[in-house]
Structure 1
Amino acid sequence: MVIVKSLVWFALGIAGGFVAAHLVNKDPRGQEVLAQLDSRIGEFTDRMSDAYHQQETRLSEIIDDAKGVAAAAVDKTADAVGDAAATATKAVSSSD
């Protein structure tokens, strides 16, 4: 019952918003206000988009740096294991 009541109020709110926007849009001053609102919303979304892309670029650079560090660590570890294996092989063959 509560859900139905909430949905009814929600639907009435949407319908009321459409009616109010239609009435405001008929008045030249209302059109100007709506145009300013639209402009501000456009500026906001542009700024958010720019900020998102800047953050995405920063994160990509961090990930690329981390991949480079990880690759270098793997290479050094492989070299160390190879050196240890060579030393062990040399030690075993010289003790025979």
Structure 2
Amino acid sequence: MKNVAWLIAGIAIGFVAAHQVSKTPQGRQFFDEVDTKAREFGSAVVDGYKQREAELRAAVAEAEDTIADLTSRLK
């Protein structure tokens, strides 16, 4: 319980410090850059996910076609 209290206190102090830093022009620029990089990273993750999903859907469609072809040959 004591460690949790220290963790919460550390987080609160960090938020207060970040808020104070963001009031300066340099701090605002820093947080803007961090925000931009985080958004770029998030976009890259989404793009990668969509690309992989498309690849998997194509592979499943190809497998379904192959199964249908093999099934039709057996009849």
Q: Given the two structures, how large is their TM-score scaled by the length of structure 1? A: 0.72
2:26 partner amino acid: R
The question of 1:64 aligning with 2:61 is answered yes
Amino acid at match of 1:17: G
1:28 matched to 2:31? The reply is no
Residues 1-96 of structure 1 aligned to structure 2 (within 5 Å): 4-77=1-74, 79=75
Q: Which of 1 and 2 has greater Rg?
A: 1
Structure 2: runs of 5+ lacking an equivalent: none
Q: Greater shift after overlay, 7-16 or 35-44?
A: 7-16
Shift of 1:21: 1.2
SS at match of 1:13: helix
Higher relative contact order (CA 8 A, sep 6+): 2
In structure 1, distance between residues paired with 2:18 and 2:31: 9
Aligned residues between the structures: 75
TM-score with structure 2 setting the length: 0.90
Over the matched positions of the two proteins, sequence identity in percent amounts to 33
Which 5+ residue runs of structure 1 have no aligned equivalent? Answer: 80-96
Question: Which AA in structure 1 matches 2:47?
Answer: D
